[in-house]
Structures are given as C-alpha cells and as structure tokens.
Amino acid sequence: MSDLPAHFFLAATIAALCVGLSKGGFPIIGMLAVPILALVVPPVMAAGLLLPFYNVTDIFGVIAYHRSFDRRNLAILVPAGLAGVAIGWATARYVPERYVTLLIGVIGIAFCLNYLLRRLETAEPRPADLPRGIGWGIITGFTSFVSHSGAPPYQMYVVPQKLDKMVFAGTSTLLFAVINAAKLLPYWELGQLSFDNIKLMIWIFLMAIAATFASFWLTRVMPQKLFYRIVMVALFLISLKLVHDGLFGA
C-alpha cells in the first residue's frame, strides 16, 4: 500500500459509498465504484479491492430486504448468474475487458432508448420467463465477474416486469449477494484479491455499511415512479461512461 497515491483513500471511500448505496436499493450506482477507484489504481486491482466491500455490504443488504424479493426471478436468475460467473472465470485470461465494458454500455443505452421510445412506464408488466431470464442471468453473472457491472443486463430483464420498488431492490440485493460470494474463490485463484491491502481499508467498510442502510431508507420513502426514473437516468449515464471506456480505454 505504500506505493499507492495519497488520494487513494479518498477514491476508495467514495467507491465504498457507491457500493453501500447499491446494496440499499440502487444497484446501478454500484457500477460507479470500479471506475472511481480505477482513477488511482489499475482496474483489475480496483475490482479485487472492491469485492470484499460488496460481500460485507451484501450481508446487511440481505438483512434489510430478507422479506422483499421475487422468488420466481431468483429461482431463474441465481443459477443462470452462477453459470455466468463460471464462464467469466474460465475465460478471464482470454477476453479483453474493454470489449466486455463496451458491450455492457451498448446494452444499457439501447435499453434506455427503448424505454423512452416505447414509453415503458405505460406498458403492461412483462412477467418473468425462463428463456429470457436464463440469457440475461448468464450475462449478468459474466459481466459482474469481469468488472462488477452486472446491473445493466439485470435491469434489461427485470425493469419491464414493473415490480414493486422494494421487491425490485430486494431481488437485486439477494441475487448479487449470491453472485458476489461466488466470485471470491475465482478472484483469489486469479490473484485479484490482496487481503494485506484490504486490512488497511477496514475503516472504510463502516461508511459503506452506513450507506447501505441510508439507501434502504431512501428507497422506502421515495415514490415508485421517481425511483424507476432515477434508475434509468443512472443506467443511461453510466452506460455512456462504459461505452467511452470500451472505445478509448478506461
């Protein structure tokens, strides 16, 4: 850690807060964490440092949402997401990360434009279905493994269902808790986890945990239409950033 920039801890703190907010009900915000931390350390190191933050805040997110989730979605998405993690592990040394980043960004932008053009907020809810769920679930697990960027493909599948905001947030939290736990062994095997570094960042975990519960409260009090609008705006802006990174390098 001695060779890290002096402003590393500021970036790490902001990234940890993004992780905490994502676990409280805004999964898309968690995608900001890796790009923020990658401003001061290499992207692969950023992903490895942040995974334990996801794991710890997942625990508190699961506690907060243990009664608010959609069983059918989890029954479809959890196995598919784990398959995606396995694919990511098997291909980690061969697939350029920037191409995956670009793909995620294009998917997110396409979904937002479709949402706007078709006025999805007035459309009938689209029920969970096995073929789409398996496909998007695998992509979610794969992209989450590569760069903690599983939220856009997850939302491509779940947002059209127009779930209650608390159920949407709870389903997101429980799904990514399982996926993030499954990433620990592969990250360790690939050398992306360094517990010597993480020990010096323990104090930042407290801020991430506080952000988790603050986000949970905000999700409860926020009107549902506003909740989904914020989700979509965040998705669009982050997708633009991902496309830029994929084309020109992070």
**Could you tell me the pLDDT band of residue 121, with boundaries at 50, 70 and 90?**
low
pLDDT digits (tens, 9 = 90+) for 42-101: 777 778 888 888 888 888 889 888 888 999 999 999 999 999 999 999 988 787 777 877
Mean pLDDT for the stretch of residues 237-248: 81
pLDDT at site 195:
65
φ, ψ of residue 96 in degrees (nearest 5):
-60, 130
Cβ atoms within 10 Å, residue 124 = 7
pLDDT at site 133:
95
Of the two residues 135 and 199, the one the predictor is more confident about is 135
pLDDT digits (tens, 9 = 90+) for 177-217: 999 999 999 998 888 776 666 666 676 777 777 777 777 78
**43 domain-assigned:** yes
Q: How many domains does the chain have?
A: 1
The 3-class secondary structure across 20-57, one letter per residue, is HHHHCCCHHHHHHHHHHHCCCCCHHHHHHHHHHHHHHH
Distance, first Cα to last Cα, the chain:
22
Cβ atoms within 10 Å, residue 42 = 11
**109 domain-assigned:** yes
pLDDT at site 97:
72
Lowest mean pLDDT among 82-91, 143-152, 222-231: 222-231
One-letter identity of residue 220: R
Closest CA to 240 of 110, 96, 145: 110
pLDDT at site 80:
97
Helix (DSSP H) and strand (DSSP E) numbers for the chain: 12, 0
Please, what is the average pLDDT of the chain? 81
The alpha-helical segments, DSSP class H, found in 97-164 are 97-118, 130-147, 151-158
Angle (CA) 33-38-40 rounded to 5° is 120
Q: State whether residue 97 is helix, strand or coil.
A: helix
Closest CA to 128 of 83, 171, 169: 171
Residue 77 and residue 140 in contact, taking contact as beta carbons nearer than 8 Å: yes
**1 domain-assigned:** no
**Could you tell me the pLDDT band of residue 174, with boundaries at 50, 70 and 90?**
very high
Closest CA to 142 of 181, 191, 179: 179
pLDDT at site 95:
75
Of the two residues 52 and 137, the one the predictor is more confident about is 137
**44 domain-assigned:** yes
**Could you tell me the pLDDT band of residue 4, with boundaries at 50, 70 and 90?**
low
pLDDT at residue 123 above 90?
no
Residue 118 and residue 64 in contact, taking contact as beta carbons nearer than 8 Å: no
d(CA 198, CA 68): 31
> pTM for the complete prediction?
0.78
Share of the chain above pLDDT 90, in %: 22
Mean pLDDT for the stretch of residues 100-119: 74
d(CA 156, CA 239): 13
**3 domain-assigned:** no
**2 domain-assigned:** no
d(CA 141, CA 79): 9
Of the two residues 107 and 2, the one the predictor is more confident about is 107
pLDDT at residue 38 above 80?
no
d(CA 155, CA 143): 13
Domain region containing 169: 8-248
